[in-house]
Structure 1
Amino acid sequence: MNKYKLAMSAIAVTLGLNSALVYADDTVIGGSLRANYSYKDYSESSKDKGGDLDFNLLAIKVSHSWDDFGVAAEYRFYDGYDHLKYGYAFWNYDDELTFNIGAISKPFGNKNYASHNWWYSLNYYLGFEDDYGLGVGMAYEKGASTTELAFIKNAVYGGNDHRDFAGTVAKGTVGDTTYNNEQTNMLAGRQSYTLSSGELTTIVGASVEYGQLYNDEFGENGDLLNYAVHLDMNYAGWGLQAQYLAYDFDQYEDGQIDPNKIGMGMLGGFYEVASKGNIYTANLSKTIATSWGSYTLYNDFSMVQPDVDEFDDSVLNTTGVSISYGQFFVYVDLYSAKNVLWLGGNNLGLTQANDDWNYRFNINMQYYF
């Protein structure tokens, strides 16, 4: 990203920031422009056309700091809708303690994502990877220990608007079933330790979150309780990520739903998932530096295992490479999916329509400015 001393008040208004911030010397304005090519073996139109090349998104980032305070935001424009990914103010109390408020990152799961690829892992679609909400948080880092806590009042766009960046329990209708849940008043915490020995760096940790699922149709409450243990190791360019996650969305049974299913919204979509289950994640990667940049080879695996016998597992395996060259970044991925939302399926962890594997070849091209 480059520093600009420009009068860009239109961008500042779009981001909900004071336009005066863009005039300061230490304001950073940047973003990215992205396009996407995909070939889907489960889509006849995709096969007939030899795949599809589409505009993916335009992202605008703004950050500004003064003394120990600052703000940061990212707004994204897609084809047909737009949304705020994050936007918060922060206070660096000292070298060890930081506070933030606004649309903040939820401290849960692997600290450095739970995947390497463009599609993320299945954790993302249930709200457990790169997730944001409106609230307040703190991070305390002392030696090898990092403690992160947050109170998330609600999703960035509430319960009716499904534009949130990651999966969020929300209101909506799938088929003949209407869900009236709203995720609110959530406490989340993550404790991690970073251990180093020569070229080996290991991050081990655990996370937990507890919150309220409010049914505004009946004025009743359910709750959610999720926890995870996670590992992230790096040695001489090799990386290993692993995570076990148990989740339970215990919604109020209003007589109109199957309590073993729950509705979630994200990125303009609304879908059903198993309301209780486990998620397993295992990723292997190798980063290689070159004279022109770097590239990372990886295989990412994740599986949703529902806690209902008649439901079926959802499995996603991604083999790919990401390439970094100057201001350009490219993902080249092959997704192999079974019973996976938007990869030949329409849910996660529910009954599978057939026993087929679905495949998608994908290239996501990004330019950063």
Structure 2
Amino acid sequence: MLNCSKPKTLALLVASALSMLAMGSAQAETHIGGSLKVNYAYKEFSESSKSKGGDLDFNSFELKVKSEWDDVGMKAAYRFMNGHDYLKFGYAYYNGLPDWQFQAGIINKPFGNRKYASHNWWYSLNYYLGFEDDFDMGVKAQYSQGGWISEMAFFKNSEYKATDARGFAADAARMTINGTDYHNEETNTFNLRQSYGFDTGGISHLVGASLEYGQLYDTKLDDNGTSTAYAVHWDSRYNGYNMQLQFVDYDYDQANQRSTYGVKMLNSAFEVASAGQVYTFNLAKSFKRDWGSFTIYNDYSMVEPDTADANQDRSVLNSTGVSISVKQFQIYIDHYMAKNSVWLGDKGIGLADGDDDWNHRINVNLAYKF
């Protein structure tokens, strides 16, 4: 990864690389797109936010590229955000064998619901533990036939070093967080996901199970802990209705046996309970209109800590909102009601909750996609 000290220079280099790729091979079919996003947030738990009536900020500018040469292709997405930038994903793939696809690079971790475990802009609590829309450095094979989808992946490490807080979903952090020193690095992680799709009485179902096992290398102790998790998930759709159910059991068993675990993402870092269960229950209804479409939803996720620390408390996030698509525009209008949840009035996930209060945030995210 090119480390460029000036964002403007990095932007020019990325744009130049994409331009050269687009003009490269006459046999290649290349598409370049992306999005520009702004975000409004009103935080009931912040006195300054209430006094100002909320804040409207630049959220992100994203460039996406997809290019194919016969059975070989690549996909990548780079995001520039307020104060940092990062590669969300970037990988090559091969489709030359019937029913198979192979990927290598920064790829999506096959764990949990095959697409998302949420409908809203904030995602679910799974995302802040590294179990939703997570991308790491590795290789993956996917086999699809009939209703069966089998995915096998090996990840050597996270997409950025454990000392680099950039990146998308949560990864192990090797840094000091809230006065505690963490020395973990993710390495040698295996993921398996088996999904099966079928229809009953006009209802389409996608059920599945996922497994994860990997090493957590402690650079201070020169010793390895383990990262283990399993999930069962069910996604049903009928006439615009969608129901998602998911259960995750996870254990970040560190070499020092600590009951908290340090993670980093989006240029920040926080602590979570090192072991626990995640429960997810989501409902949504989509509507199509002449001018576009919209989806109303309620997403619920809860983390129940399962460590030796009896002071740790559950975290809960309930998101109610609507997403609207009109031509090139995508709008999310959400109300988040959370207890003991990071960036929603509290400092982590599954930690000791000093106030036991529910916190509220109204959020509007507007994207123009090209």
Q: TM-score, normalised by structure 1?
A: 0.94
Partner in structure 2 of residue 7 of structure 1:
none
Partner in structure 1 of residue 369 of structure 2:
368
Partner in structure 2 of residue 260 of structure 1:
259
Query: Structure 1 residues 289 and 297 mapped into 2: Cα distance closer, same or farther (>3 Å)?
Result: same
Partner in structure 2 of residue 120 of structure 1:
123
Q: Show CA shifts across 1:215-262 (max 9, x none).
A: 112211101110000000000000000000000000011xxxx71111
Q: SS where residue 48 of structure 2 aligns?
A: helix
Cα offset for 1:99? 0.2
Q: Show CA shifts across 1:159-216 (max 9, x none).
A: 1101120011121112321000001110001000011245311000000000000011
Partner in structure 1 of residue 74 of structure 2:
71
Q: SS where residue 356 of structure 1 aligns?
A: coil
1:122-137 matched pairs, under 5 angstroms: 122-137=125-140
Partner in structure 2 of residue 358 of structure 1:
359
Cα offset for 1:131? 0.2
The answer to whether residue 269 in structure 2 is matched with residue 239 in structure 1 is no
Partner amino acid, structure 2, of 1:21: L
Query: Structure 1 residues 353 and 112 mapped into 2: Cα distance closer, same or farther (>3 Å)?
Result: same
Partner in structure 1 of residue 177 of structure 2:
174
Q: Percent identity?
A: 51
User: In structure 2, which of residues 39, 55, 58 is the aligned counterpart of residue 55 of structure 1?
Assistant: 58
Question: Is the 2:224–2:255 contact (alpha carbons within 8 Å) kept by the matching residues of 1?
Answer: yes
Query: Structure 1 residues 269 and 69 mapped into 2: Cα distance closer, same or farther (>3 Å)?
Result: same
Partner in structure 2 of residue 183 of structure 1:
186
Moved over 6 A (4+): none
Partner in structure 2 of residue 280 of structure 1:
279
Q: SS where residue 82 of structure 1 aligns?
A: strand
Partner amino acid, structure 2, of 1:366: A
- 15-24 vs 184-193, greater mean Cα deviation: 15-24
Query: Structure 1 residues 141 and 13 mapped into 2: Cα distance closer, same or farther (>3 Å)?
Result: farther
Cα offset for 1:26? 1.4
Q: Show CA shifts across 1:6-55 (max 9, x none).
A: xxxx8694289676421156110010000000100000110000000000
Partner amino acid, structure 2, of 1:263: G
Q: SS where residue 280 of structure 2 aligns?
A: strand
Partner amino acid, structure 2, of 1:77: F
Partner in structure 1 of residue 312 of structure 2:
311
User: In structure 1, which of residues 77, 98, 103 is the aligned counterpart of residue 101 of structure 2?
Assistant: 98
Q: SS where residue 47 of structure 1 aligns?
A: helix
Q: SS where residue 330 of structure 2 aligns?
A: strand
Question: Is the 1:288–1:295 contact (alpha carbons within 8 Å) kept by the matching residues of 2?
Answer: yes
Partner in structure 1 of residue 5 of structure 2:
none
Partner amino acid, structure 1, of 2:77: E
Q: How far, CA to CA, are the matches of 1:102 and 1:148 in structure 2?
A: 16
Question: Is the 2:18–2:65 contact (alpha carbons within 8 Å) kept by the matching residues of 1?
Answer: no
Query: Structure 1 residues 325 and 292 mapped into 2: Cα distance closer, same or farther (>3 Å)?
Result: same
Partner in structure 1 of residue 29 of structure 2:
26
Q: How far, CA to CA, are the matches of 1:228 and 1:365 in structure 2?
A: 32
Q: Show CA shifts across 1:264-323 (max 9, x none).
A: 000011111000000000000000111111000000000010014321000000000000
Q: How far, CA to CA, are the matches of 1:71 and 1:12 in structure 2?
A: 21
Partner in structure 2 of residue 3 of structure 1:
none
Question: Is the 1:215–1:252 contact (alpha carbons within 8 Å) kept by the matching residues of 2?
Answer: yes
Query: Structure 1 residues 322 and 57 mapped into 2: Cα distance closer, same or farther (>3 Å)?
Result: same
Q: SS where residue 175 of structure 2 aligns?
A: strand
Q: How far, CA to CA, are the matches of 2:15 and 2:69 in structure 1?
A: 19
Question: Is the 1:15–1:84 contact (alpha carbons within 8 Å) kept by the matching residues of 2?
Answer: no
Question: Is the 1:102–1:136 contact (alpha carbons within 8 Å) kept by the matching residues of 2?
Answer: yes
Q: How far, CA to CA, are the matches of 1:356 and 1:30 in structure 2?
A: 42
The answer to whether residue 110 in structure 2 is matched with residue 107 in structure 1 is yes
Partner amino acid, structure 1, of 2:239: A
Question: Is the 1:340–1:348 contact (alpha carbons within 8 Å) kept by the matching residues of 2?
Answer: yes
Partner in structure 2 of residue 5 of structure 1:
none
Structure 2 unaligned residues grouped into runs of 5+: 1-9
Structure 1 unaligned residues grouped into runs of 5+: 1-9
Partner in structure 1 of residue 45 of structure 2:
42
Cα offset for 1:93? 2.4
Q: How far, CA to CA, are the matches of 1:11 and 1:89 in structure 2?
A: 22
The answer to whether residue 158 in structure 2 is matched with residue 155 in structure 1 is yes
Query: Structure 1 residues 79 and 354 mapped into 2: Cα distance closer, same or farther (>3 Å)?
Result: same
Number of aligned residue pairs: give it: 357
Partner amino acid, structure 1, of 2:14: T
1:203-352 matched pairs, under 5 angstroms: 203-253=206-256, 259-308=258-307, 309-352=310-353
Q: Show CA shifts across 1:60-101 (max 9, x none).
A: 001100110001100000011000000000000234100010
